[in-house]
């Protein structure tokens, strides 16, 4: 799980939001969990399945310079 979080604000059609929330409820998950899973899948699709390790390496401060 991520160590830090940030807020993402979306504007969506109210009807689609209600339907999405109902689907999440039926799947015993939250809309936030679903959106986070979508984001992980999208990132993996574009960067490969080991994207998290690539990002962690990119986030590390460089030494000596």
Q: What is the pTM of this model?
A: 0.70
The pLDDT value recorded for residue 56 is 64
Query: With 70 as the cut, is the pLDDT of residue 52 above it?
Result: yes
Query: With 60 as the cut, is the pLDDT of residue 64 above it?
Result: no
Q: What's the whole-number mean pLDDT along residues 27-42?
A: 95
The pLDDT value recorded for residue 54 is 74
The pLDDT value recorded for residue 36 is 93
Decide if 47 contacts 54 (C-beta within 8 A). yes
Decide if 46 contacts 54 (C-beta within 8 A). no
Query: How far is it, in rounded angstroms, from Cα 47 to Cα 33?
Result: 21
**Better-scored residue on pLDDT, 53 or 9:** 9
Query: With 80 as the cut, is the pLDDT of residue 42 above it?
Result: yes
């Amino acid at each position: 799980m991520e160590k830090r979080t940030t807020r993402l604000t979306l504007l969506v059609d109210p009807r689609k939001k209600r339907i999405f929330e109902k689907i999440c409820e039926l799947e015993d998950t939250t809309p936030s969990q679903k959106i986070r899973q979508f984001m992980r899948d999208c990132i993996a699709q574009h960067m490969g399945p080991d994207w998290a390790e690539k990002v962690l390496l990119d986030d590390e401060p460089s030494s000596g310079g």
